[in-house]
Amino acid sequence: MEYCAKCEREFVSEESLEQHLRHSSSHEYCVRCSKSFDSASALQQHLRDSSKHHICSMCTTRMDFDNRADLEAHLEKVHDHCVPCNRSFDSPQLLEEHDVSAHNLCTICKSYFATQQNLRCTVQHAKTHSAKNMECFGCYRTFRSSSAVLLHLESGNCASEVDNDWMVELAFECHQSRFYTSEDDDYNFECPTCGTPFSAMSGLLQHVESDVCTEDVAMGKPLFKFLRFLQSRLA
């Protein structure tokens, strides 16, 4: 027999006693931990201190979650709450604006970046979200950037049968080659503005498409003219 000293009642099994403790208004009982407390304040202290409980202090029902991750997801979704800053906002839109400015949030994929510089390197990151609207000069495949087109051509997988060796030769043939080719034996190319060396044209294009340098592929620039030269050879 099991005995409840507070109620002076006997129960036929441990399960019956626990059922009584769960539902009796005379007991302050923690269901998750199967523990009874002498007072409501003692139970609340347990809920605050125990690592098994993750209470939402903003809900009137004091919702209890199995783990910290579930609690944080609830706070963000239901209460528009920023957990790292411990701040709540009046709307999901205001929370998102805060996440962008304070936590370097990409609003497209909802990824967070360690620093604003990393998020800015989103010129590369953003390309993962952009449409594939750059058509290869040698086939009908489409890509998200000029550098991706060049990487495809250099790989030898294009129907045009172009490869990296062909690309290097063509880059040196172009009348703009003096601006982006390198005299370094280890590298074929270099950035016209900052001099960063590259072994492949696709690497140079990736560099100028990012914001790490002021060089670009604007109309009239050497790399713009190279791309037009490449297009004419594959037309």
Distance in angstroms (rounded) separating the CA atoms of residues 25 and 48: 21
Buried b (16+ CB within 10 A) or exposed e, 83-121: eeeeeebeeeeebeebbeeeebbbeeeeeebeeeeebbe
Question: How does pLDDT run across 156-208, given as a tens digit for each residue?
Answer: 999 999 999 999 999 999 999 999 999 888 999 999 999 999 999 999 999 99
Looking at residue 124, its pLDDT comes to: 59
Q: What is the pLDDT of residue 61?
A: 77
Identify the band that residue 224 occupies on the pLDDT scale cut at 50, 70 and 90. Answer: very high
* pLDDT, position 31: 75
CA atoms within 13 A on the CB side of 14: 2
Average pLDDT, the chain: 84
Which of the four pLDDT bands, split at 50, 70 and 90, describes residue 209? confident
- pLDDT for res 111: 75
- Count the helix, strand and coil residues of the chain and give each as a percent rounded to the nearest 5: 45, 15, 45
Convert the pLDDT of each residue in 117-153 to its tens digit.
Answer: 555 545 556 666 666 678 999 998 999 889 999 999 9
Band the pLDDT of 27: cuts 50, 70, 90: confident
More confident residue, 138 or 16: 138
Instruction: Encode pLDDT of 84-127 as tens digits.
Output: 888 989 888 898 888 888 887 877 677 777 666 555 545 556 66
Structural domains of the chain in order of their starting residue, each with its CATH number: 1-50 (3.30.160), 134-234 (no CATH)
Helices (H), the chain: 14-23, 40-49, 68-79, 92-103, 116-120, 122-127, 146-154, 164-173, 177-180, 201-209, 222-234
Q: What is the pLDDT of residue 1?
A: 72
pLDDT of residue 144: 83
